[in-house]
Structure 1
Amino acid sequence: MPDGKPELTITHIAEKPWHEVKAQSHSGRRVSVWEKFLEWTPERMVIYARYDAGVVVERHGHMSEHYVFVVAGEVLIGDRPCPAGTHITLEQGAAFGPLIAGPEGATLYEIMAGDPRAVPDDREGFQRLLAERDITPLPNPPVPWPDWLQARTDGDPGSKA
């Protein structure tokens, strides 16, 4: 809100580039989480996300309220299948996952109301799941991390981006 006045912002998905934000090797095949940052301010983060087929995201929470809508495909959240049309509300302090993208992957629309950084919830369980599935986490790809946001909290100690 420049000058304290409410502002209208209109963004089309095609205007934003994809950013690879997580990468894994599944028996030698690279799979990733991709995001388009539709809005990223201290008040909120709005992303359009694409999960490659089979990608696994550890059980985690966020440092803010988090809302997810499954636009296409399917994602397994813990033991719950979440096909297209599913809405998820994750209150600040709650955790969900692991998240496992279905055979066609998943497309998600996500909103975080505040600090969007992830907070891992079950690191040991995630490591066991990766070993069971022959998945090797790859270093987090660089992300256009805003200067005002603190360092990542998702286990990549060498990177703010």
Structure 2
Amino acid sequence: MAELKIVSVGEVPWHEVKAQAHPGGRRVSVWEKFLEWSPERMVIYARYDPGMVVERHGHASDHFVFVLAGEVLVGDRPCPAGTHLTLEHGAEFGPLVAGPEGATLYEVMTGDPRAVPADPEGFAGLLASRGIEPLPNPPVPWPDWLAPRTDHQAGLREADGG
């Protein structure tokens, strides 16, 4: 039965979902608030710390992103606040690099939200060239019905809750 769901972003906790060590010992992360998480869709309010780098990837579903604040570089394309991205199932984008103020995003995925890495070797080279060390994925409240993570550092099972 169809229902109305109302969620206030202020009532949902932040979860650190990805972390990196940047030069000077600065920890940089992706933070997400899971506004809805079901087998049919995932809706998140996300914050990228300044300089965060996310690997080139796709998803096993359609993925819609709206940049609410700050800026994110998607490949070579600057995407400031007000930019909408549609990533169709099977398409890839990135790497994503948060601007100097970071970025706040509203994202919707219509199915399996797990990332499908597109260029792990290129991503490793990009991080190395910037002096960035990837850190193990922080624990996330992963639902039982969803298979383990597939994104970078997902092989570190003890650290990612999968």
> What interval of TM-score do these two structures reach, taking the shorter chain for normalisation?
over 0.9
The one-letter code matched in structure 2 to 1:92 is H
Displacement of 1:99 in angstroms is 0.1
Cα distance per residue 1:33-84 (max 9 Å; x no partner): 0000000000000000000000000000001000000000000000000000
Would the aligned equivalents of 1:150 and 1:160 in 2 still touch at CA under 8 Å? no
Would the aligned equivalents of 2:141 and 2:161 in 1 still touch at CA under 8 Å? no
2:82 matched to which residue of 1?
A: 85
RMSD: 0.7
The one-letter code matched in structure 1 to 2:9 is I
Matches within 5 A, 1:34-53: 34-53=31-50
Matches within 5 A, 1:106-121: 106-121=103-118
1:67 aligns with 2:64: yes
How many residues align? The count is: 157
Tell me the TM-score normalised to structure 2 length: 0.95
2:7 matched to which residue of 1?
A: 11
1:123 aligns with 2:131: no
Where structure 1 has 5 or more consecutive residues not aligned to the other structure, the ranges are none
Where structure 2 has 5 or more consecutive residues not aligned to the other structure, the ranges are none
Moved >4 Å (runs of 4+): none
Tell me the TM-score normalised to structure 1 length: 0.96
Residue identity (%)? 75
1:25 aligns with 2:26: no
Cα distance between partner residues in 2 of 1:85 and 1:99 = 16
1:95 aligns with 2:95: no
